[in-house]
Structure 1
């Protein structure tokens, strides 16, 4: 879903609420629809602040047995967007090296629209579990047993020969 900036002119208090579902997003396997709910507030001068919550079920691979498992994923998202002219001015004012406060990170409003799905996608990727595992433990330990030899992994043998 994309928010159109022209819709803020007819919105009460320059605030637009949204509540929608998405079937698919890039780079993430959804097992259930992605539910996104939140609000967008425009200050009237080209700056729009978006915030909300999302929830879904995703499919990830267990790092131990490599089986596909489902994970519940829910979180919050925020974003601050500037119209094209304000964003260009913001980019010109950035120094080569500077400290950036989290309140000073802006995205650009492209063609008068804000892509909410892409914003939430970025938060989902950051919220993915880094090492997903079966709960409480894996059913099939064959992959784990195959590589649990306490000897030297043959793939590293060449490197050990260089050291000696």
Structure 2
């Protein structure tokens, strides 16, 4: 087997180990998906930094201590009916962890995987809105994280506190929640 073939296989194995699709892998190493395709096809030889970045990403994916978007959805789906306060806490914790991800590789890892449990109705609108807001920094967005649909009737996941402002973005979707409830720091 040629060195080029071994390099292509190594790149593909690292992408798989990190759980990336091509778009996520390209984001993690700071190149375009078409450039990554050239590396994987053997048309272009990547720099050593690309290989090192993918090795680092695969290691981070295996040893992460923070929630990916799909992990947040699973936690919210598990608790939304039985303990809505805990579900909200997990949603906000996942949002805050996502905001703190400082490397392109970690931001790409955030978008890997698919939720095991499905959210429906107002919780889906709430969770998808908050997670999509987190992804405004240019990170890949999971394909399953659909754009939230407005609710037909207003819904409040937590008791409203009179005299406190509602979050405008969520209110536009029919979710009534005090802005202060979304502040965790």
Shorter-chain TM range is under 0.3
- Taking structure 1 as the reference length, the TM-score comes to 0.24
- Taking structure 2 as the reference length, the TM-score comes to 0.22
Higher helix share: 2
- Structure index of larger Rg: 1
Higher strand share: 1
